[in-house]
Structure 1
Amino acid sequence: MDFRRFRIGYRTLKTAVGASIAMLIAMFLNLDYYSSAFILTVLCIQPTKRKSVRAVYSRIIASVIGVGFAFIFFEGIAYHPLVFGLILILFIPTLVSLRFQDGFVSSVVILLHLFDAKELTWSLLWNETQLMAVGFGIALLVNTYMPSIEKDLKKYRLDLESLYSKIFHEIALYLRNGDSDWDGKELVQAAEVIEKGKALAYQDVENHLNRRQNLYYLYFDMREQQFEIIERVLPKITALPVTISHSHHVGEFIEDLANHVHSGNTANTFISKLDDVKEEFSKMPLPTDHENFLAMAALYQFIEEMEQYLQIKRSFIGFKMKKKTAAKE
């Protein structure tokens, strides 16, 4: 056994503690089938608060529907295993059609209690109601604690900005020298960080019942849109037939951009600088041959794409940054 991989997470600990407390409360209340409170709690402890609330809602509705099936079939026909099987044949499609299939297991627990009692009474229904109240209630209570993921989100943000900076440095180097031994690994890493960052940011949204989005999710979504542009412009740069004087101007701009990648909303500065590059382009002599013409056209397309890149950044509200970073992209 590899003990280095053995780890007890906070959700595991919450599940064990919450389920045990639920069963103890059910025992204290002298409820029949008190051990089922343990199962009901385990089923409702989810990775996020919102999922936990949805799980409880789904299981309550499924259990109510299950009691209705029990009344019709057990009381109407017989308390027999074959009748129980008939209930499941009809019960499962009903839950699926109503989109409450997540509550199937907990509702079966309730059905088993009714089947075992061989009688549907108000006292039994009250017992099951208390079991659900204890199990589901404790699950919601322990799930109110969710560890902060702000530190992890910030790390993903900083890692991504470092990768973008490296990518732009390599693009600038290629524009100036016309050659590069870059293997492009930062592109793969950036895609992975974006995916992980968005997933974690969405989890944070799910842990706030009154929030539909957060700034980090918007940030990673914005960077994902920019990444699509980066992937689109790279072939335009690497396919330049020749290095022309225009390349150096664009390279200087990209180098400047690479040195100032951060999460504040200051893209206007670089849009203004990009306008200056366009102005320089208009003053430079026209290409003298076909290869120079193709190179200049590709560079102009690259500039247009980079303007879109900056426009996407400008639409982002931005994190509050310190004054010393106010001149960054």
Structure 2
Amino acid sequence: MSFRIGYRTLKTAVGAGLAVAIAQWLQLDFYGSAAIITILCISVTRRDSLKVSWARIVSCMIGMAISGLLFEIMGYEPWTLAIIIVLFIPIVVMLKMNAGIATSSVIILHLYTVADMSVSLIINELLLIVIGVGVALLMNLYMPNSDKALRVYQKDIEEHFKTILHELSIYLRHGESKWEGSEISETVDLLQKGQSLAIRNIQNHILRYDDQYYYYFRMREKQFEILERLMPYVSQIHETVIQSETVADFLDELSNAVSPANRVPYFLERLRQMKDGFKEMPLPETREEFEIRSSLLYILHELEEYLQIKDRLWNHADKKKL
């Protein structure tokens, strides 16, 4: 494994140093804690950073209130500290502010160490919290642009879709194929990674809850499920009929047209023409021909759903002006 310093590590290091520098400049006690708060608040996404920072601020306020009250009433003793933690943690968990437990514990220990609940100490702790959280939010303003990586995932998925559709057409034409099917598992992996990155990209926008890549990967995932359903039916067709060639030609045309562009109306019309053409053909003469044509009709039905999925999700994306 190669040694690598990521952007998040650099942000954390710079943020920790900056937080300590500000706390020292203000001559705060326990100035090193500002760095700890900053490190804890730097997150993977901007939205998560805001959520975590808010949880830490609220939990610190609760921790200071509970500990200040009990230390003054019961004394600055280890058993008092234990009681404070027993009361504090369930309250924070109940309020769903679990992320602030570690930061609040640091503040509570400061109060215990000084053993004097004064106004200057409260101000000191509040400034440490503000500096730590503020610097973390400042560092999290920078997030790397994910568009390039998302476009790479999009391109790779489209190439895999083209291969799968083309190989299905080969099988319909010849009743066999030398294809090993590696694109199937690779597509699953690409879809998972692409969706994860798209969701993270959304989380880096405070007021945006979806985007075109989110809809794209969601669309491809549903289309891929249909392609997986098709495969057993295609593999059952060992002999070719006239209709097999027609469907194979359609699959090849569909393979060549795989892209984010929406050409659904054209292909839906082609499907309708094929179905009408099949109805006008003579009835099957053998049971085997009947089964083959039934499988082909099912394949056309699934391909129609494959196209309509794209049409529905892309129309939804257009309504949101993506």
Using the size of structure 1 for normalisation, the TM-score is: 0.93
Output one character per residue of 1:126-173: Cα deviation in whole Å (capped at 9) or x when no partner: 111111111100000011011111100000000000000000000000
1:152 aligned onto 2:159: no
**Structure 2 equivalent of residue 95 of structure 1:** 92
1:238-317 mapped onto 2 (5 Å cutoff): 238-240=235-237, 242-317=239-314
State which of 196, 200, 208 in structure 1 corresponds to 2:197.
Answer: 200
Cα RMSD between the aligned structures?
Answer: 1.4
The alpha carbon displacement at 1:60 in A equals 0.6
Q: Once structures 1 and 2 are overlaid, which stretch shifts more, 64-73 or 191-200?
A: 64-73
1:152-171 mapped onto 2 (5 Å cutoff): 152-171=149-168
The alpha carbon displacement at 1:241 in A equals 5.4
Output one character per residue of 1:115-134: Cα deviation in whole Å (capped at 9) or x when no partner: 11112122211111111111
1:226 aligned onto 2:192: no
| Runs of 4+ with >3 A deviation | none
The alpha carbon displacement at 1:273 in A equals 1.2
State which of 22, 26, 36 in structure 1 corresponds to 2:23.
Answer: 26
**Structure 2 equivalent of residue 215 of structure 1:** 212
Partner Cα separation in structure 1 for residue 314 and residue 221 of structure 2? 16
State which of 101, 105, 111 in structure 1 corresponds to 2:102.
Answer: 105
SS of corresponding position for 2:152: helix
State which of 125, 135, 138 in structure 2 corresponds to 1:141.
Answer: 138
**Structure 1 equivalent of residue 4 of structure 2:** 7
Partner Cα separation in structure 2 for residue 24 and residue 106 of structure 1? 19
* Structure 2 residue identity aligned to 1:49: R
Q: Once structures 1 and 2 are overlaid, which stretch shifts more, 118-127 or 144-153?
A: 118-127
Any conservation in 2 of the 1:18–1:41 contact (CA below 8 Å)?
yes
**Structure 2 equivalent of residue 172 of structure 1:** 169
The alpha carbon displacement at 1:218 in A equals 0.7
Any conservation in 1 of the 2:175–2:238 contact (CA below 8 Å)?
no
SS of corresponding position for 2:314: coil
List alignment gaps of at least 5 residues for structure 1: 319-329
Of all paired residues, the percent bearing the same amino acid is 41
1:109-128 mapped onto 2 (5 Å cutoff): 109-128=106-125
* Structure 2 residue identity aligned to 1:43: L
Using the size of structure 2 for normalisation, the TM-score is: 0.95
Q: Number of aligned pairs?
A: 316
Output one character per residue of 1:194-242: Cα deviation in whole Å (capped at 9) or x when no partner: 1100100111101110100111011000111111111111111112253
1:3-82 mapped onto 2 (5 Å cutoff): 5-82=2-79
Q: Once structures 1 and 2 are overlaid, which stretch shifts more, 289-298 or 199-208?
A: 289-298
**Structure 2 equivalent of residue 323 of structure 1:** none
SS of corresponding position for 1:33: coil
SS of corresponding position for 1:7: coil
Q: Once structures 1 and 2 are overlaid, which stretch shifts more, 273-282 or 305-314?
A: 273-282
SS of corresponding position for 1:315: helix
* Structure 1 residue identity aligned to 2:72: E
The alpha carbon displacement at 1:43 in A equals 0.4
Output one character per residue of 1:279-300: Cα deviation in whole Å (capped at 9) or x when no partner: 2211211111211111111110
Any conservation in 2 of the 1:40–1:106 contact (CA below 8 Å)?
yes
Any conservation in 2 of the 1:241–1:292 contact (CA below 8 Å)?
no
Any conservation in 1 of the 2:15–2:38 contact (CA below 8 Å)?
yes
The alpha carbon displacement at 1:274 in A equals 1.2
